[in-house]
Structure 1
Amino acid sequence: MPQPDALHVARCDDPVAAFVDAHRHQRSLALPTSGTSQRPRTVVRTTDSWVDSFEHVARLLGLDARSRVWIPGPLASTMNLFAAVHADWAGATRVDGPAGATHAHLTPSALRQRLASDPADLAGVHVLVAGDRLDPTTYAAALAAGVDVSHYYGAAELSFVAWGDHADELRPFPGVEVEARHGELWVRSPYVCDGYLEPDRSLRRDDDGWTTVGDRGVVDDGRVVVLGRGGGITTGGATVVVADIEALLRRGATGEVAVVGLPHPDLGAVVAAVVTRDEDLPALRDLARHDLEPAQRPRRWFHLDALPVTEAGKVDRDALLAALTTDGVA
C-alpha cells in the first residue's frame, strides 16, 4: 500500500538531493503524473523501483563517469528527474547545454525543434527520447544529423516498459514482461509503483502481478507497439477510440498526426484529424476511406505547423481542440 508520508521530491529545492536522502532512509517518493488523459494523479513508488533499473539504462546508453549529460527539461517531470538522479548515480557530469555533452534527454517535440533550428548542436550526442512516441521520420532526421538516438516507452506508474530506436522498434526493457489483452497493454515488472496517493484512485492490477495504465497496443513477436491512451470520441451514438484511429493514420503520414473530437450540435462530436505536413492530407484521406470504419473516419481535416504539447512533451489535446475551435482554424 502507498505510504501517506511519501516525500514529494518535485516540491523540494533540490529534487535530486531529496531523492538520494529518501533512498538512504528507504522513504517512498510521491511523484506527479503528466495527466495525459485526465486530471493528474500522484504516484507513490519506492526509490528501489528506480535504482534497480540504473545499471540497465547505463549499459543501453553507454553512460558512465566520463559522460556529460544535458537535461533541459524541468526536474518536476518524472522523466527528467530520473535522468538527473541516474546521471549522478553513474558519476557523470550534468551540463547546461548541448555543447560538449555526450548524452541528452529530450522529448520528441524538443528533438524536432532542435533539429529544425540547430541540428549541428546534437551531432555526436546520444539522445534518449521519451515523453511521447518518437516517429521513424524524426528518428531518420536525427540520424542524418549525426545524432545517436534511443527511445523508450514508459509511464509514471510503470517506469520503463519498452526500449528501442523509435516507436516502431520497441522491445521489452530488461526485467519487464509485456502482453496485450484485448488491445490493452499489461506489464509485469520490478519497476512498477506502489499505487496512487489519492484515496479515490487505484491502480489496475491482477492477482498475478500484472498492471495496466490503460494504454492501447499490441505485442507482436516480441515487439511492443504502443497505440496510445484509450480515450474515446462519441459521435452519432458510436464511441470510437482515438488511439486506434491515430495508429492507422500514422501508417500513411510523414509528419505528426493527432485526432480529437470536435463538438457538433447533432452528433455530439465529429472526428477531426490534424496533421503537421499538409502534403500528407490526400494520402490520409484515401487511407481513412479504405481502412477505417465509417464512425472512425475523420470528417474534418486540419493542418498546423506543429502540435501543441504539454510541459511533459505530450500532445496537449485540450490546447489543440481550443486552437481548432477558437483561433479560426475550424
Structure 2
Amino acid sequence: MTRSGWISRGESRLQGADFDAAVTARAAEHGGRGARIEPIRTPDALQALVEAFAVRESGGIPVIGDDRWEEEQWLDLQLTCRSLSAPAGLAWATLTSGSTRSPRLILRSDGSWSSSYPDIARLLGLTAESVVYLPVHLVSSMSMFSIAMSRSLGHSIRLPRLRRPAADDLADATHVHATPLLFERILDLVEDGASHRLTAALVGGARLDPALRRRAAELGIRVVTYYGAAELSFVAFDDDGSGLRTFPDVESRLDGDGRLWVRSPYLAAGYAGDEQGPFAMDDGWATVGDLAAIDAAGRLTLRGRADGAILTAGATVVPEEVEAVLRTVPGIREAVVFGNAAHGTDSLVTAVVEFDPDVLLTAPELRERMRSALMLPHRPRLWYRMERIPLTATGKPARGRVREAVANGEVPRLGT
C-alpha cells in the first residue's frame, strides 16, 4: 500500500501513513485468518475501511454490509459468511443485488480490480494530488473499487458526511465517482453555488441522461460514463458522448439471443457457495444477461436485461424475486414489479398489486412488511393496485399491459 493520500469523512481524516498504521495494528489483533469471509458493519465509514483492509492484511476476505439494514438482514449475512469458505488467491467480497434478506456474495481477486486502475486513472486524469468524492455507500462494489484504487495509486478519497451529497463535501474534490442520480444532485449543488474543484466525473450504475452530460460540460466537468456490473467490473466506457466502446483489455460478443458476453481480466471469480444468480461463464466468457447491440464501429448499445432487471441506485433488481416476496404477504393475490424512470437517469422500483377481495393494504403498511423481507434498494418505492392484474394466454401476468396502464394513468396509486 502507498503512504500518500488520505481518506476523510466530514471533519475526520486519516492520512495515508496513519491509515496504514491503523490497518496494521488491527490486523495484528485479527491474527491469521486464512480465506475466511469477514462481514463488517458500522456507521463509522472510516473504521469500516480500516477493518476491511485489516482483514485483507491478515489473509481474510472483507465484505462491508449496510448499517441501514434490519438486524435480521445483518444476522443473515453473518450466518452466510460463517458457512462459506473461499478458494485461495481471492481478495474481495462484495454484495450483489440479491433481493431477499440472504444476500449474494461475489468473490474476486485483487488483480480483477487492479488491472483496470491504469485505464481508469488515464480516463479521469487522476494524479497523486487528486481528491475523489465518493458519495456511494460502502456496501457498493463501486465504492470499494474506488477506495482500493486510491490506496494503490496514492490519491485521496472524500466520503459523504450525510446520506446524500452536500455542498460542504465538494470544496476540495477534484473528481467524483457516482451513480447518475447522485451525480445529478452534485450538479444541482454546484449550480446553486457550492464551492468545488471538480474537473471530471466517473458515472455508472445506470444510464446517464445526455442532459446531465451537457450540464456538466457547462460547469467545466468532463464526464466518463461506463457500463459494467458487480460480476463483470468495467466493460465499456464513453468519454465524449459518442457511445460506449469496450475497454482496451475487454472483448465482447453477442449470442443468438442478443445477450452480451465479455472476456476480460476484470471478471469476478463467481458467487460464494452454491448461490445462484445471473452471472454465467463459458470457456472464459461471462454474461449477466444484459441485451445489447454492437455496431460496425464496435460501439455498444444496451437494450436492458433479458430477465427484465431494474437498475436503480447502482443495484440490479430482478422483478421476479421481488414479486415472489410480495406474493407471500397475506392478502396479496398477484403482483407485477417494474422500473419507473426517475428524472430520466435512474429507475424507481414500482409494484402493482392485486389484493384479495376483502383486503386493502396501504403503501405504508406494505413498506413496513418489506423492511425485513427485502434489501433496501429492492423495496418498491411506488405502489399501485389493480382490481385484476391481466394475464397472458399462458396464465402469467401481462407485464406490458400492466406497465402501459400505469403509464396511462389508468391504475390508482396507493396512498403514501
TM-score normalized with structure 1 length: 0.69
Deviations 1:236-263 (A, max 9, x none): xxxx9979xx9xxx9xx98358596734
| Distance change (3 Å), C-alpha of 1:254 and 1:92 | closer
SS in structure 1 of the partner of residue 404 of structure 2: coil
**1:28 partnered with 2:91:** yes
Larger Rg computed on CA atoms: 2
**1:157 partnered with 2:245:** no
Partner residue in 2 for 1:206: 282
User: Which whole-Å CA distance do the structure 1 matches of 2:121 and 2:40 have between them?
Assistant: 23
SS in structure 2 of the partner of residue 141 of structure 1: helix
- Residues 389 and 402, structure 2, Cα contact 8 Å, conserved in 1: no
Deviation, 1:52, is 1.3
Work out the number of aligned pairs and report it: 271
User: Which whole-Å CA distance do the structure 2 matches of 1:261 and 1:270 have between them?
Assistant: 14
SS in structure 1 of the partner of residue 248 of structure 2: coil
Partner residue in 2 for 1:313: none
Partner residue in 1 for 2:134: 71
Deviation, 1:183, is 2.0
- Residues 181 and 346, structure 2, Cα contact 8 Å, conserved in 1: no
- Residues 337 and 352, structure 2, Cα contact 8 Å, conserved in 1: no
Deviation, 1:56, is 1.4
Say which of 45, 48, 57 aligns to 2:111. 48
Deviations 1:6-61 (A, max 9, x none): 53475555234545665999443221113479974110111111111111111111
Partner residue in 2 for 1:299: 405
Deviations 1:273-318 (A, max 9, x none): xxxxxxxxxxxxxxxxxxxxxx698233279xxxxxxxxxxxxxxx
Partner residue in 2 for 1:104: 176
Partner residue in 2 for 1:191: 266
Which stretch shifts more, 38-47 or 99-108?
38-47
| Distance change (3 Å), C-alpha of 1:115 and 1:297 | same
- Residues 131 and 172, structure 2, Cα contact 8 Å, conserved in 1: yes
- Residues 36 and 60, structure 2, Cα contact 8 Å, conserved in 1: no
Task: Give the residue type in structure 1 aligned to 2:35.
Answer: D
**How is 1:101-250 mapped onto 2 (pairs within 5 angstroms)?**
101-119=173-191, 120-121=193-194, 124-165=198-239, 169-181=243-255, 182-201=257-276, 203-207=279-283, 209-220=284-295, 221-232=297-308
- Residues 16 and 84, structure 1, Cα contact 8 Å, conserved in 2: no
TM-score normalized with structure 2 length: 0.56
Deviation, 1:135, is 2.0
- Residues 207 and 346, structure 2, Cα contact 8 Å, conserved in 1: no
Deviations 1:101-156 (A, max 9, x none): 21111110011122224335456431111122212122112212222211111111
SS in structure 1 of the partner of residue 37 of structure 2: coil
- Residues 34 and 40, structure 1, Cα contact 8 Å, conserved in 2: yes
- Residues 10 and 76, structure 1, Cα contact 8 Å, conserved in 2: no
- Residues 173 and 197, structure 2, Cα contact 8 Å, conserved in 1: no
Deviations 1:167-212 (A, max 9, x none): 86111012011122222111111111111013142641123x1111
Percent identity reads: 34
Task: Give the residue type in structure 1 aligned to 2:182.
Answer: A
| Distance change (3 Å), C-alpha of 1:38 and 1:216 | farther
| Distance change (3 Å), C-alpha of 1:200 and 1:129 | closer
User: Which whole-Å CA distance do the structure 1 matches of 2:101 and 2:301 have between them?
Assistant: 23
Task: Give the residue type in structure 2 aligned to 1:216.
Answer: L
- Residues 179 and 218, structure 1, Cα contact 8 Å, conserved in 2: no
SS in structure 2 of the partner of residue 326 of structure 1: coil
- Residues 390 and 398, structure 2, Cα contact 8 Å, conserved in 1: yes
Mark the runs of 5 or more structure 2 residues left unpaired by the alignment. 1-33, 42-47, 62-87, 160-168, 309-318, 321-335, 354-385, 392-396
**1:61 partnered with 2:150:** no
